[in-house]
Amino acid sequence: MAVNELERDYLGLLHECDMIENVIAGLKMEAETVEQKKKQVGNIVMYLETELLDDKYKDKDLTRVNEVIKAGRTYWKSK
């Protein structure tokens, strides 16, 4: 895998983290229902979890990604 491709993919993960954080904070999807927001966050969480199964990120700092996955999962599963 080319270095630029890895960096692009890693940056994509961080952008997905931004999206989750912004939805939870009420900065994105303001017009959507809570259920729609939870569904979107859940979809992103599942995407991130699937991406992390790939060992191409083994040398990357995934602290933020893991923290956002945890926060996103909590939001997604909340009542």
Tens digits of residue pLDDT in 11-62 = 999 999 999 999 999 999 999 999 999 999 999 999 999 999 999 999 999 9
- What integer pLDDT is reported at residue 71 of this predicted model? 98
| Residue 3 predicted with pLDDT over 80 | no
Question: Tokens for 45?
Answer: 């969480």
In terms of residue numbers, what domain contains 51?
3-77
- What integer pLDDT is reported at residue 79 of this predicted model? 86
As for how many domains the chain has, the answer is 1
Question: Tokens for 55?
Answer: 């060992």
**Model pTM score:** 0.92
- What integer pLDDT is reported at residue 1 of this predicted model? 60
Place of tokens 């859940």: 42
Among candidate residues 8, 14, 38, 4, the one with its CA nearest the CA of residue 24: 38
Taking the C-alpha atoms of residue 64 and residue 22, their distance in angstroms, rounded to an integer, is 14
